[in-house]
Structure 1
Amino acid sequence: MHIMFNNPLVYVVEYAGLEAVEVIDKRIGRGALIRDDAAKRFREELKGLVDHEVGPEEFDAFMVPWEALMTQPAIYH
Structure 2
Amino acid sequence: MNIVLNNPVLYVVDYPSVGAIEVIDKRKARGVLLEGDAAQRFKRELKDAMEQNEEGEELDFDPYLDGFDALLTQPAIYQ
Considering the TM-score relative to the shorter chain, is it more than 0.5?
Answer: yes
1: CA distance, partners of 2:6 / 2:51: 14
Match of 1:40 in 2: 40
* 1:64 is the counterpart of 2:66: yes
Q: Secondary structure at the match of 1:44?
A: helix
- Whose helix fraction is larger, Structure 1's or Structure 2's? 1
Alpha-carbon deviation of 1:52? 1.6
2: CA distance, partners of 1:4 / 1:52: 17
- Deviation string 1:28-68 (CA, Å, 9 cap, x unpaired) is 10100000011001001100111122632xx2111101011
2: CA distance, partners of 1:8 / 1:69: 20
CA RMSD in angstroms comes to 1.1
Match of 1:21 in 2: 21
Q: Please tell me the residue identity of whatever aligns with 2:42.
A: F
Alpha-carbon deviation of 1:8? 1.2
Q: What TM-score comes out, normalization by structure 2 length?
A: 0.88
1: CA distance, partners of 2:67 / 2:39: 13
Q: Secondary structure at the match of 1:12?
A: strand
Alignment gaps of 5+ in structure 1: none
Sequence identity of aligned pairs in percent? 49
How many residues end up aligned between the 2 structures? 75
2: CA distance, partners of 1:41 / 1:65: 11
